[in-house]
Structures are given as structure tokens and as C-alpha cells.
Structure 1
Amino acid sequence: MEITVKGNPMTVEGQLPAVGEVISAFSLKDMKGNTVSAEELKGKVTILSVFPDINTGVCDQQTRSFNEIASNIEGVRLVSVSRNTIEELNEWCAAKGLDMDMWSDADREFAKAFGIFIPELDKLARSVFVLTEDNEVAYREMLSELTDEPNYEAAVEAAKDLL
């Protein structure tokens, strides 16, 4: 699959999980350095907000917007995922005064499991996944232009529809 970055074509490796498909297993690190996995998402509707680099304007905006819109919805868990280091994620949260679930995909395991790895940039493609309590994909969006923002309202409505 191809996307663009400021109009320049880039290749995205893999295949997005289909709506209705159970997500593949993965393990990442949370902001405390603990290993977290797909199994830990079970039992709650989850919005996975995926971005390339927290230290860029659009990624900052995406993360803050989802936090403002979705973090207080009863029964919905918001998890942000990127290739940023645990230190970078902690520094960003401290600078913004936010306490969020942010997971680091340093080994690219999540990126490859979800079909959102951009090898030319060594980054994750900007995307959003809404998962059921059983880790089935209920909604997905991968932006065709990396610098565009996701459809926040559509993702939140998809999550609310599962409650």
C-alpha cells in the first residue's frame, strides 16, 4: 500500500486488519517500561491512536485531541502508540501536563502486526483502530497523507456504538 508524506509517495508494509478481524498478538512497552500486550486490551472498548512521532505538530495535535475527546468516555480506553522512545513519551506528557496510556513500538512489532510500518521513515503510519471488548476491529482508518489528521468524531462514535 502507498501513502504520501507531503505529497511524496511512501510504501506501507503489510495489510491492515479487516473490520471484524481479531487483532494479531503483539507486545510493546508502556511509559514505565513494562511489557504490555494485545491481551491487556480485552474487556474494554479501545481506541488505538497511532502516530509517527510525538514531537511533530500533527502528532501532538492528534494525541491531545483524542485525549480531550475520548479520555473521559466511560467504558472506553484510549491508548496512543508510536515508535517514540519511552523517554520521549514521558517527556511529552510531562510538558503537556497529561497522564495517558502511551505505548512505544521500539521493535516495530505492533507496526508489522497492524500493517502500518513505513520502512523509508522507520515510522508507523498515522492510523486509528477501534477495538471491541474481544479485540475485534470495529473501525479502522489509515491516513493516505501522513500529515493529515484522523477523523476523530468517526472513531469516537464507533467506540460509543460498542458500549
Structure 2
Amino acid sequence: MSTVTLKGNKIHTSGELPEKGSAAPDFSLVKTDLSSVSLTDFKGNKVILNIFPSVDTGTCAASVRAFNKEASELKNTKVLCISRDLPFALSRFCGAEGLNNVVSLSDFKNHRFGKDYGLEFIDGPLEGLLSRVVIVLDENGKVLHAEQVPEIVDEPNYQAALNAIHA
């Protein structure tokens, strides 16, 4: 279990993030067209997992916008924006914002992703949602970088994630 804060108040997650050098767990998530996708579908590409509680909050929306901007310049890299928002909300947000360089995915269907990656909130006002986390994977799904943002209202360290892609 990890502890982060929400405006200074402690909340806990369901486990620990995958460790650097380990194989990331496979997943089944739902795209905005309601089809399913897994980590193996991205094999051969570097992958940035931008994980957040809800696209309907300012910080989460900012992270999707920031990674969308960066994704347009990354070669052989896919940016996956993952939350428990419904696919319809993710589609609405990205459509309204003109964000087409990221892949929006939802863990609403089976809730396995949050549990398997150890980042589901298990208490507090965001219980059941996903913690703000960035995980960078190599072309074979090996973890290059993992950051769980200690204060959930703060943005992730974009530069650290980008540095891991270029390392």
C-alpha cells in the first residue's frame, strides 16, 4: 500500500507500482469507441501511461493536454491516458479539446488495471478511482520509469517521463 495526499489529507492505494526493470502487467482497457485494448497491442512501441482520477478535474485535464502536446514529437511512442471515466466522457473531452495524439482508455469495465498496478484508491473521497501516476515502458513492456504523484492535486513530472523515453 502507498500513501499519497489530497490537499494534505492522507489517502491510500491498493498496492505498490510496478518496479523499474520489471515487466508491466498486461491489461484490458476500453477505448472511446468501446473496443478493448491490451498492453500487448502496443508491443514494439515505447509507452507512457498517464494515469489519473478523472478528466473532469483541472489537473487531470492539464496532464492530458501536456502529454498530447509532447506526443506529437515522440517517435515510436504511444501515450495512453487512463482513468475510470466512462469512454464517453474521455471522447467528449478529447474531441472538444482537439486532442488526437493520445489514446484515451477507461478502466471502468473490470477495474483490474487499478488493482494490478497497485494504484486504486482504497479510502478517502476518491476511493475507487485511480491515483495520479506516470509509468514509462520500453518496446517490450519493461518499466523504465514510475512516478506516483505524492499530492494528487499536483501535476506529474513530465520531464522525468520524457527523459526516460529518450534514455
Give the TM-score range, shorter chain. over 0.9
What is the root-mean-square deviation in Å for CA atoms of aligned residues?
Answer: 1.0
Note if 1:35 corresponds to 2:36.
yes
Unaligned runs of 5+ in 1: none
- In structure 1, what is the Cα distance between the partners aligned to 2:156 and 2:71? 14
Match of 2:112 in 1: 109
Query: For 1:1-163, what aligned pairs fall within 5 Å after superposition?
Result: 1-99=2-100, 100-106=102-108, 107-120=110-123, 121=126, 122-161=128-167
- In structure 2, what is the Cα distance between the partners aligned to 1:155 and 1:93? 21
One-letter identity of the residue aligned with 1:103: L
One-letter identity of the residue aligned with 2:107: D
Q: Compute the displacement of 1:75 (Å).
A: 1.2
Give the 3-state SS of the residue equivalent to 2:139 in structure 1: coil
Q: If the length of structure 1 is used for normalisation, what is the TM-score?
A: 0.95
One-letter identity of the residue aligned with 1:82: S
Shifted more, 112-121 versus 136-145: the winner is 112-121
- In structure 2, what is the Cα distance between the partners aligned to 1:103 and 1:72? 21
Q: Compute the displacement of 1:98 (Å).
A: 1.6
One-letter identity of the residue aligned with 2:151: E
Count of aligned residue pairs for this structure pair: 161
Q: Deviations over 1:45-82 (max 9, x none)?
A: 11111111000000011110111123321111111100
Q: Structure 1 segments of 4 or more deviating over 3 A?
A: none
Give the 3-state SS of the residue equivalent to 1:95 in structure 2: helix
Q: If the length of structure 2 is used for normalisation, what is the TM-score?
A: 0.93
Contact 1:71 1:77 in 2 (8 A): no
